[in-house]
Amino acid sequence: EVTLINPFLVPEPQEQAVLDHWEQARDFLETQPGYISTTLHRSIQPNSKFHYINVAKWESTADFKTAISKMNKSLSPLSIPGVEFYPALYEVIRN
């Protein structure tokens, strides 16, 4: 199992557009083989470095990469200025 953790920065005026795009991507990805779950978090502290962090679980790195490349072919890419994503894949090492 792998975990995608994607902290991102969104200029306030763009928040709804980014959330709409996030939902489109989630609706696509949740139909893909190896998808387990996704949880989008919004900060409740005004001075946090990242206002949004998505945490998604997949059966494997390969499943995740296959799904993302299929999504990129079928959905229009997010082209909103000022949005910064820092996605990476993680393994759980302690509980």
Residue holding tokens 């999504």?
Answer: 71
Residues within window 54-93 making contact with a second copy, judged by CB under 8 A: 55, 61, 86, 88-93
Residue 36: other Cβ atoms inside 10 A: 13
- Label residue 63 exposed, middle or buried (CB < 10 Å: 0-12, 13-18, 19+): middle
How far apart (Å, rounded) are the C-alpha atoms in residues 53 and 90? Answer: 14
Q: Is 32 in the site for a second copy (CB under 8 A)?
A: no
Residues 6 or more apart whose CB falls under 8 angstroms from that of 87 comprise 4, 5, 6
Residues within window 1-20 making contact with a second copy, judged by CB under 8 A: 2-3, 5, 7, 19
Whether the CB-CB separation of 71 and 31 falls below 8 Å is answered with no
Q: Is 39 in the site for a second copy (CB under 8 A)?
A: yes
Q: Measured from the CB of residue 86, what is the shortest distance to a second copy in angstroms?
A: 4
Q: Is 38 in the site for a second copy (CB under 8 A)?
A: yes
Closest to a second copy by CB, 3 or 32: 3
Q: Is 28 in the site for a second copy (CB under 8 A)?
A: no
Binding site for a second copy (CB under 8 A): 2-3, 5, 7, 19, 22-23, 26, 37-45, 48-50, 53, 55, 61, 86, 88-95
